[in-house]
Amino acid sequence: MKGRVFSGARPTGRQHIGNYLGAIQNYVKLQDDYDCIYCIVDIHALTTLEATPMKSGLQENIHEMMLDWLAAGLDPQRSILFVQSHVPQVMELHTLLSMVTPLGWLTRVATFKEKARMQPDNINYGLVGYPVLMTADIVLYKANIVPVGEDQLPHLELAREIVRRFHYLFGPTFPEPQAKLTNAPLVLGLDGVNKMSKSLNNDIELAASPEDTRERVISAFTDPARRYRSDPGHPEVCNVYRLHSFYNPERLGELGAECRSAGIGCVECKEALARSINKELEPFRERRAELAARPGYVKEVIADGARRASAIATETLTEVKQKMGLISRQVIPD
């Protein structure tokens, strides 16, 4: 039997190159060898809605994000693509798993502490339980592989702990999910310091126009020691150089040497990066425009995904309820 892959992402709308390099490229590749399930986690998004209000509505964000996934190569014939709240069994499993998860495990998670700092007036119950819902997402489908960026590793560690505790109390039921990283597990944003993220406005959208992409890249921070064109640079501290390693791997040595000797200026270096990103994304952008022109297509994909995901979810939930003693193990014939 093929292994099963699950991953989720919050409906932040159009995806950025950090999402792609850190996660989506693996979602696409894994389709060749595994049964894959990918989910837009709209319920998770509600935990931070007050602190980071969305520019557009949830439904529009889901639509834009699914277009990106499909254009990037997620194939609804091979993978299940769905929206978290459309398979409500996950909320039931979340409640059941919350009974085996000590509160101390959750309040210690670094992402919880950071979010609590960001929204001190709304440290809601859902925020504390965020990793429990994430565990429910994964184990509801008995996934063993979870492609994610590095920032999600603490959540995966906790998921394994919850699974182990469930097994100790009720017997073996789920695989222990393992994270799968790409060669770019943490992509920094245009500020060169923070993780690329939509909320920090330091991102480059996959679906941006070539001109917008160029403008964004030109605004990127480089080596602060290079104040004048003639200053020699330090590529190892420069995020533009790091981005070249993904979009221009064959020219990396040359670019590094030219930066160190001040043979190339930061603007030229950024122009070259923008050209490479635009070239790489051209087929993606064409596919995206074609898909966007098909009325109702995204809705069909997510309705079909919910039907297929729901069948698996119901089976797992029944097994969990039996193990926890909520329903009898024998099915009583009527």
CB 46 within 8 A of CB 126: yes
The verdict on 80 binding ligand TYM (CB under 6 A) reads no
Indicate the residue among 20 and 259 with the shorter CB distance to ligand TYM.
Answer: 20
Residues 281 and 332: their CA atoms lie apart, in Å, by 56
Minimum distance from residue 151 beta carbon to ligand TYM (Å): 5
Count of residues touching ligand TYM (by CB under 6 A): 26
The verdict on 151 binding ligand TYM (CB under 6 A) reads yes
The verdict on 186 binding ligand TYM (CB under 6 A) reads yes
Indicate the residue among 130 and 288 with the shorter CB distance to ligand TYM.
Answer: 130
Minimum distance from residue 258 beta carbon to ligand TYM (Å): 27
CA distances from 92 to 131, 171, 203, 317, 318 (A): 15, 19, 35, 8, 11
CA distances from 136 to 162, 180, 222, 323 (A): 10, 18, 41, 16
Which span sits near ligand TYM by CB under 6 A: 145-153, 220-228, 237-245, 323-331?
145-153
Which span sits near ligand TYM by CB under 6 A: 144-152, 236-244, 266-274, 280-288?
144-152
3-state secondary structure of 85: helix
Point out the residue whose Cβ comes nearest to ligand TYM: 22
The verdict on 202 binding ligand TYM (CB under 6 A) reads no
DSSP state, residue 101:
S
The verdict on 316 binding ligand TYM (CB under 6 A) reads no
Looking at 28, 30, 93, 148, which residue binds ligand TYM (CB under 6 A)?
A: 148
Which span sits near ligand TYM by CB under 6 A: 94-102, 184-192, 205-213, 305-313?
184-192
- Picking from 16, 21, 12, the residue whose alpha carbon sits closest to that of residue 40 is 12
Q: Which residues pair with 79 in a beta bridge?
A: 36
- Picking from 330, 334, 322, 316, the residue whose alpha carbon sits closest to that of residue 6 is 316
Which uninterrupted H or E stretch holds 258?
helix 252-260
Minimum distance from residue 177 beta carbon to ligand TYM (Å): 8
The verdict on 312 binding ligand TYM (CB under 6 A) reads no
Looking at 152, 202, 213, 239, which residue binds ligand TYM (CB under 6 A)?
A: 152
Looking at 37, 134, 238, 313, which residue binds ligand TYM (CB under 6 A)?
A: 134
The verdict on 87 binding ligand TYM (CB under 6 A) reads no
- Picking from 322, 4, 22, the residue whose alpha carbon sits closest to that of residue 138 is 4
Contacts of 332 (CB under 8 A, 6+ apart): none
Minimum distance from residue 26 beta carbon to ligand TYM (Å): 9
- Bridge pairing between strands 145-147 and 35-40: unpaired
The verdict on 233 binding ligand TYM (CB under 6 A) reads no
Residues 120 and 111: their CA atoms lie apart, in Å, by 14
The verdict on 195 binding ligand TYM (CB under 6 A) reads yes
Residues 195 and 186: their CA atoms lie apart, in Å, by 7
CB 35 within 8 A of CB 2: yes
Instruction: Name residues contacting ligand TYM, limited to 8-67 (CB under 6 A).
Output: 8-10, 18-19, 22-23, 41, 44
Minimum distance from residue 139 beta carbon to ligand TYM (Å): 10
CB 111 within 8 A of CB 135: no
Residues 165 and 178: their CA atoms lie apart, in Å, by 16
Binding site for ligand TYM (CB under 6 A): 6-10, 18-19, 22-23, 41, 44, 134, 137-138, 146, 148-149, 151-152, 155, 185-187, 195-197
